[in-house]
């Protein structure tokens, strides 16, 4: 083996020693367009918590089925093992196969579930998809993204169109698929709002006391108190959330707002 290879292996090993991989202790389940990105970033400010990178790992609803190993998934949670690690993939709440997979791999998980008025959530999701349609780079990324069988979102909303369909048209497209009893899980503007059905699917595998359900308005309008309640649910020390809550009222925050070094040293 060459000297370069030895050095490369040594640097990699030292990096893994400093930043060990972990398994998550809890998850922000969703739903989509309910504030999961904001909550992921808010919680990452707490010195006892460490959010995943990327925020949405998509391991249990995508990468698991393409052969990605659990060991690779754990690399999304680099940092001190004494911290509580977490991720936030909104589609985990909606995807029916996820709860059983989680119960086999991470049976001690706790869950934070963000919910929003289903009509408002659906309209927000439609706006999100429309913005992607109008953005050349994001549109191209959507076109080339790996899609599992049954995901017809791109084919139904994007492919061959010069103008993005209206909210009413998108709803009608999904209703036609539902009425045809098609084995299709995307698009899902309507079905992602069937929260009770999705939660009941989780409760087959996890006790209800492992779940904390939060309203979108509570997180948006009462951020500081909501984060304090999450501390109690996770059984972690209190943190001064005032600055985080202030940022939520003045345009939000991003993960880069918080120095990652505090998670490792």
3-state secondary structure the chain: CCHHHHHHHHHHHHHHHHCCCCCCCEEEEECCCCCHHHHHHHHCCCCCEEECCCCCCCCCCCHHHHCCCHHHHHCCCCCCCCCEEEECCCHHHHCCCHHHHHHHHCCCCEEEEEECCHHHHHHHHHHHHHHHHHCHHHHHHHHHCCCCCCECHHHHHCCCCCCCCCHHHHHHHHHHHHHCCCCCCECCCCHHHCHHHHHHHHHCCCCHHHEEEEEHHHHHHCHHHHHHHHHHHHCCCCCCCHHHHHHHHCCCCCHHHCCHHHHCC
Domain spans, the chain: 16-118+194-263, 120-179
Closest among 142, 141, 241, 232 to 186, alpha carbons compared: 142
What residues form DSSP beta bridges with 212?
A: 112
Predicted pLDDT of residue 7: 41
Closest among 183, 62, 193 to 126, alpha carbons compared: 193
Q: Is the pLDDT of residue 178 over 60?
A: yes
Class of domain 16-118+194-263: alpha beta
Take residue 46 and report the two structure tokens written for it.
């707490």
Predicted pLDDT of residue 244: 78
Predicted pLDDT of residue 263: 52
In tens, the pLDDT along 25-80 reads 999 998 999 999 999 999 999 999 999 999 999 999 999 999 999 999 999 999 99
By CB atoms closer than 10 A (0-12, 13-18, 19+), residue 220 is: middle
Predicted pLDDT of residue 257: 39
Q: Is the pLDDT of residue 260 over 70?
A: no
252 versus 102: the higher-pLDDT residue is 102
Q: How many other CB atoms sit within 10 Å of the CB of residue 36?
A: 26
How far apart CA 125 and CA 131 sit, in angstroms, is 10
At 16, the pLDDT band (50, 70, 90 cuts) reads low
At 258, the pLDDT band (50, 70, 90 cuts) reads very low
């Amino acid at each position: 083996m060459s000297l370069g290879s030895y050095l490369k292996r040594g640097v990699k090993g030292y990096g893994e020693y400093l930043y060990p991989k972990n398994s998550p202790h809890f998850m922000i389940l969703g739903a989509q367009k309910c504030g999961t990105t904001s909550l992921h970033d808010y919680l990452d400010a707490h010195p006892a918590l460490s959010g995943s990178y990327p925020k949405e790992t998509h391991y249990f609803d995508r990468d698991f089925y393409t052969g990605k190993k659990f060991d690779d998934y754990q690399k999304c949670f680099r940092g001190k093992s004494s911290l509580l690690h977490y991720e936030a993939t909104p589609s985990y709440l909606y995807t029916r196969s996820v709860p059983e997979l989680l119960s086999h791999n991470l049976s001690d998980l706790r869950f934070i579930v963000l919910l929003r008025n289903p009509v408002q959530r659906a309209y927000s999701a439609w706006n999100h998809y429309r913005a992607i349609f109008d953005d050349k780079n994001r549109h191209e990324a959507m076109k080339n993204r790996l899609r599992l069988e049954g995901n017809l979102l791109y084919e139904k909303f994007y492919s061959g169109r010069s103008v993005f369909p209206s909210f009413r048209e998108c709803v009608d497209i999904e209703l036609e698929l539902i009425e045809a009893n098609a084995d299709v899980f995307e698009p899902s503007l309507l079905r992602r709002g069937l929260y009770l059905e999705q939660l009941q699917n989780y409760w087959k595998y996890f006790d209800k006391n492992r779940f904390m359900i939060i309203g979108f308005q509570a997180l948006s309008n009462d951020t500081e108190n909501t984060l304090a309640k999450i501390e109690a649910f996770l059984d972690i020390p209190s943190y001064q959330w005032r600055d985080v809550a202030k940022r939520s009222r003045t345009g939000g925050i991003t993960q880069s707002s918080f120095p990652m070094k505090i998670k490792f040293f």
